[in-house]
């Protein structure tokens, strides 16, 4: 009986180290970075459609958490435009090539008001900047290893100012493409 235990002891000790072993990651990254441009379509509180362009960058420092930076230039008719600069946090999930995300942003928006009908030169009535918050989300699709396609939607709430009694609440939809750094 003692011989059996003496023979099984090294086997049991050897199996215990194997049972506690874990797979080591084959590669790790400190940051996951992408930068790109997009086409923007939006709707202003002035009842006008806005079309334009933008740029964005994301830096994910954890598997699901990161920061996002957005720029939008959305132009309407009658010299109206809305330009925004935003930054904030984002939460992303990864499903094969699909990466849906949600974002909460803070930033600054510039609104160019329409020209006064009384002005013969048709100059804009004002060009003022306001702080804003935005909530949105979308999905990144990995077209290739370094190329992502994006669909994004964002609802903005501009803080009120002297010419905006209740603030602005535009929404923007955009499609774009980004380079994904490896």
| Residue pLDDT, tens place only, 130-155 | 999 999 999 999 999 999 999 999 99
| Residue pLDDT, tens place only, 48-78 | 799 999 999 999 999 999 999 999 999 987 7
**Domain coordinates in residue numbering, the chain:** 29-181
**Contact indicator for 84, 132 with CB cutoff of 8 Å:** yes
Which residues lie below 8 Å from residue 79, measured CB to CB, with a gap of 6+? 112, 114, 115, 122, 124
According to the model, what pLDDT value does residue 125 have? 67
Confidence of residue 46 (pLDDT cuts 50, 70, 90): confident
Residue 141, CA distances (Å) to 95, 111, 153, 167, 179 in order: 10, 32, 15, 34, 12
According to the model, what pLDDT value does residue 143 have? 97
Lowest mean pLDDT among 27-31, 90-94, 110-114: 27-31
According to the model, what pLDDT value does residue 84 have? 97
According to the model, what pLDDT value does residue 15 have? 54
Residue 35, CA distances (Å) to 6, 8, 161 in order: 63, 59, 32
How is domain 29-181 classified at the CATH fold level? Porin (2.40.160)
Q: Is 123 helix (H, G, I), strand (E, B) or coil?
A: coil
């Amino acid at each position: 009986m003692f011989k059996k235990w003496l023979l099984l002891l090294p086997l049991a000790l050897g199996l215990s180290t194997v049972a506690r072993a874990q797979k080591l990651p084959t590669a790790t990254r400190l940051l996951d970075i992408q930068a790109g441009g997009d086409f923007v379509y939006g709707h202003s509180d002035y009842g006008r459609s806005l079309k334009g362009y933008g740029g964005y960058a994301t830096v994910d420092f954890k598997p699901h958490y990161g920061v996002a930076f957005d720029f939008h230039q959305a132009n309407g008719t009658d010299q109206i435009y809305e330009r925004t600069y935003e930054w904030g946090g984002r939460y992303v999930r990864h499903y094969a090539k699909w990466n849906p995300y949600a974002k909460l942003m803070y930033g600054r928006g510039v609104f160019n008001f329409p020209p006064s009908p009384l002005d013969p030169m048709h100059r804009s009535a004002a060009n003022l900047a306001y702080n804003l918050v935005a909530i949105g989300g979308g999905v990144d699709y990995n077209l290739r290893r370094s190329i992502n396609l994006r669909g994004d939607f964002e609802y903005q709430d501009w803080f009120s100012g002297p010419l905006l009694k209740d603030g602005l609440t535009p929404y923007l939809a955009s499609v774009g493409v980004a380079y994904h750094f490896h």
